[in-house]
Structure 1
């Protein structure tokens, strides 16, 4: 738990003042994460339009996704560390303003190359989520932290699903430029709200040295590894390019790990991950990313949009698919405060466990009810609630397990791991779906589909078992939150 002496004190605070400041802080953090999730999800629906306008192949337009992902994976770690060192509020606002610059580059560059560069700059938004978790822990009364984490996680879910819907509407009523204009306006608004609503972050009296060599090793190592994984299905897993990138990435990251372990003030304190709670947390999130929160995004649109003449397919339009996903996201966002309450009262492991079990239920519904639209609508709703609980649980375990001053960089490690294992999961499931196909087509046969869904169920159950071995906060000496009714009375100024 953060030391109360590190927070500024302005004297006694009445309950209404604390409530107002808490509401403003949570609003600012939710808005910031809405920006991050929107920028991550907005681009997918625009890729076909880019191919038409710029006469570019899918291998080129896909870089608009890849560039963002590669930069975001690195900035989640580096941005988290900078926030822990120099003040999370400052770095959060800087990350949002840099992402604004990325949108401007895309709009005024007016070319596929400029869009790719702009998307890479937008990747600075990858730092937003870990910074938001750190700010919530630093600035809020202890009894409100879990609630804030729940809302932040719910915002990621809602804005992520809404990104494609909003982008689609902007593409239909205007043109592709408006997607980036909307992102830029959202970034500016979120930055202004953060500047006025968030309290100043605590910075240590003696700043540690920033690990420039660690950052220099991490960036190419992580980039090579993730790029190799994402290109595997396209280039072939045995191709020289893919094997070379993965080997180089692993080699550089191995050197980086040795360097970090020997540093007194590392970029990422990897010793934190040797904590049993954190090791199991990282394992659970990684396995979850291999299936239910990663590659499942390949399967669910396929079920809704594939023709009914195929073994799997409901023949729905892209608009209906977006609406179904949007309704599910709204349900998930509605469940996020409940997830926060559960995590606050019974610990992050309980919320994480509930999320894993619900993911198993959602995929069992897919397995037995994929031919029914009402069942699939239920699948999206259950999966959204599962995501809200899982995304509230794993950062809460971080808060329970590590010192306050490394909260952001540690959650950044988990965010980066989630992205990396999601990429691996997509590759695994892509292979599964191609094992058996409908004769004369590339569509997966029912046996391939069953194998993929079975994989999602198995991953969910493994995560549930892992959660059972994560001890409750009071059993590990972790930071227990004070009861909500006592938090406001004992809290110092936020």
Structure 2
């Protein structure tokens, strides 16, 4: 006799609104350091190397926490793990807001990095309580609000820090995070554990090796330009990176309960999603880094010498486009399939990057180009996440989307570091401003890398439209 499976508990718009507000607030909290890094360096007496460490520590923590959060969400239920994770983020935000010095601020940023794991947990909750078609739209909305929150934080952090203080730029989004976490806990129905038979503990050896791999990767990317004159030191770092990565793969393949299921990564749908996400985010990071730099530059016949507030206004259309990309991408994936949405996004992004490389003599050239690139990136990432979330078993949703989101973080970090290295190499002797050719090279490299994604998109399944 077959037992009927009860229908999922209906989720109201208020509960989904609380989840969306949480995504918006965490996105804002994640992004406040980047535009205010020079101010933080002045107030806390940081050296450039310490500033670089502050700018990447949240990414490293997020990349480590995300797969664990997704796995625990699949095992124990998305909501309880999400609430615990956001409690850690809230403490981190308060520590950062009250930090009197760099070590305390670094500790706060380490705790805040747990926020990156909130997205796969949100996807677990949404998928358990909504139909497949509705979940695609909801995932797109949550993803779009997280991206939009990041842009809000980028635009508002500078004015808040200058008009109030650096403490308030952390405190304000943290207050919203706390309120949204409480609302989500009260309004969102409980989701049952997904894997009662999975009793394996945390893969601490895998966690340690992955931590070392990511830290070493960031050091290689950050120090490569400075170590060019010391090839032995650079080779030693690269060999250490290879050894740590190989050790991590060895441990994960033999672990009873691995931190990251590499067998899942071997599935065609998964490795294609991760490869596409990495390549697309490398290209996007080029624009994210290069466009503000070109706005601020004041070279001979290029650049605009804009200040931080003006740059924020120039980036506003991109913020709007990024916020809209999530819902549009979710709807597009539902109507036309993920392959069509990703292909459209890749073409838009590659053409925009190459167009900006060729034409960048007016402010509106960069404003329009950055907005189209932000929209295209949002379409691509949302389509990849929704495709991944709905192409694996429901019990693997957190692990699968966590892999894609970790790949997104790594792609962005690599793209920023490569773009920075191109500009550094393009500074003429006796000058502190990169040559125009360096900006052109950076945009062309980003465009070509993005276009390579088309080699993978053509092998994707068209997907099912609802």
Normalised by the length of structure 2, the TM-score is 0.91
Q: 1:265 aligns with which of 257, 276, 280?
A: 257
C-alpha distance 312-95 of structure 1, shift in aligned 2 (>3 A): farther
Q: 1:342 aligns with which of 332, 346, 364?
A: 332
Partner of residue 193, structure 1: 183
Residues 217, 253 of structure 1: 8 Å contact kept:
yes
Superposition pairs of residues 206-245 of structure 1, within 5 angstroms = 206-212=197-203, 213-236=205-228, 238=230, 243-245=235-237
Partner of residue 132, structure 2: 142
CA RMSD of aligned residues (A): 2.4
Count of aligned pairs between the two proteins:
462
| Unmatched segments (≥5 aa) in structure 2 | none
Partner of residue 390, structure 2: 400
> How far 1:176 sits from its partner (Å)?
1.0
Residues 74, 397 of structure 2: 8 Å contact kept:
yes
| 2:113 is the alignment partner of 1:101 | no
> How far 1:175 sits from its partner (Å)?
0.8
Partner of residue 486, structure 1: none
Larger mean Cα displacement after TM superposition, 338-347 or 24-33: 24-33
| Partner SS state of residue 294, structure 1 | helix
> How far 1:42 sits from its partner (Å)?
0.4
> How far 1:98 sits from its partner (Å)?
0.4
Partner of residue 453, structure 1: 443
- Per-residue CA deviation, residues 267-322 of structure 1 (Å, 9 max, x unaligned), is 2211112221222211111112222x223222101221211x43430232221211
| Partner SS state of residue 434, structure 2 | coil
Residues 225, 248 of structure 1: 8 Å contact kept:
no
Q: 2:455 aligns with which of 456, 460, 465?
A: 465
Residues 432, 448 of structure 1: 8 Å contact kept:
yes
C-alpha distance 5-396 of structure 1, shift in aligned 2 (>3 A): farther
> How far 1:429 sits from its partner (Å)?
2.6
Partner of residue 154, structure 2: 164
> How far 1:52 sits from its partner (Å)?
2.2
| Unmatched segments (≥5 aa) in structure 1 | 11-17, 475-480, 484-494
Partner of residue 92, structure 1: 82
Residues 324, 380 of structure 1: 8 Å contact kept:
no
> How far 1:242 sits from its partner (Å)?
5.1
Cα distance in 2 for residues equivalent to 1:22 and 1:465: 41
Cα distance in 1 for residues equivalent to 2:238 and 2:25: 31
- Per-residue CA deviation, residues 45-84 of structure 1 (Å, 9 max, x unaligned), is 3322222222222222333222212111101111111111
Residues 159, 309 of structure 2: 8 Å contact kept:
no
C-alpha distance 448-198 of structure 1, shift in aligned 2 (>3 A): same
Cα distance in 2 for residues equivalent to 1:454 and 1:111: 40
Partner of residue 144, structure 2: 154
| 2:66 is the alignment partner of 1:76 | yes
Cα distance in 2 for residues equivalent to 1:30 and 1:239: 48
Q: 1:130 aligns with which of 120, 124, 145?
A: 120
Partner of residue 57, structure 2: 67
C-alpha distance 107-336 of structure 1, shift in aligned 2 (>3 A): closer
Partner of residue 118, structure 1: 108
> How far 1:246 sits from its partner (Å)?
4.0
Cα distance in 2 for residues equivalent to 1:421 and 1:238: 26
Normalised by the length of structure 1, the TM-score is 0.86
Superposition pairs of residues 31-42 of structure 1, within 5 angstroms = 31-42=21-32
Cα distance in 1 for residues equivalent to 2:36 and 2:6: 45
Partner of residue 14, structure 2: 24
Cα distance in 2 for residues equivalent to 1:300 and 1:265: 43
Partner of residue 409, structure 2: 419
Partner of residue 488, structure 1: none
Partner of residue 15, structure 1: none
Cα distance in 2 for residues equivalent to 1:409 and 1:443: 44
| Partner SS state of residue 448, structure 1 | helix
C-alpha distance 249-103 of structure 1, shift in aligned 2 (>3 A): same
Residues 26, 151 of structure 1: 8 Å contact kept:
no
| Partner SS state of residue 473, structure 1 | coil
Residues 290, 425 of structure 1: 8 Å contact kept:
yes
Residues 30, 112 of structure 2: 8 Å contact kept:
no
